[in-house]
Structure 1
Amino acid sequence: MSDRASVEPSTAHLTSTSEQGSFCAARCTCGWRGPARRARSLARDDATGHEAAAGAA
């Protein structure tokens, strides 16, 4: 008997942004990564677009 609980992968697309020097990139729990942007607002727009596209699929 195993003590580990079975874990199903999440189908939700949870995005966040991360800064790398003077660049910011959007990332998702599904593995998607947006392009590096100098403007945080553009990285957030990329994340929003990814969530919308994933929800429509």
Structure 2
Amino acid sequence: MYDQHIPEVPPAGPPGGTGHEPTTVERGSFCTARCSCGWSGPARRSRDRARTDADDHRAATA
């Protein structure tokens, strides 16, 4: 089985903006929430928990 290469940098945010756009990234059997601001949550085996981490980050920065 081959792992898909995923860049270690968060996705770029909107041009000229400071908005937060958290997403989830899978690496092997783990899923991590990451944001365009540079924030990164812990690696989780549960995708639902990683999505919750992303939602919590979005709510905390709103």
| TM above 0.5 | yes
Q: How many residues align?
A: 48
Taking every aligned residue pair, what percent have the same amino acid on both sides? 56
More helix as a share of residues: 1
Partner-residue secondary structure (3-state), 1:51: helix
Cα separation, 1, equivalents of 2:18 and 2:59: 14
Partner-residue secondary structure (3-state), 2:33: strand
Match of 1:33 among 28, 40, 44: 40
RMSD across aligned positions (CA): 1.0
Match of 1:11 among 18, 26, 37: 18
What TM-score results when the alignment is normalised by the length of structure 1?
0.79
Match of 1:42 among 28, 34, 49: 49
Which consecutive unaligned segments of at least 5 residues does structure 2 have? 1-14
What TM-score results when the alignment is normalised by the length of structure 2?
0.73
Cα separation, 2, equivalents of 1:40 and 1:16: 11
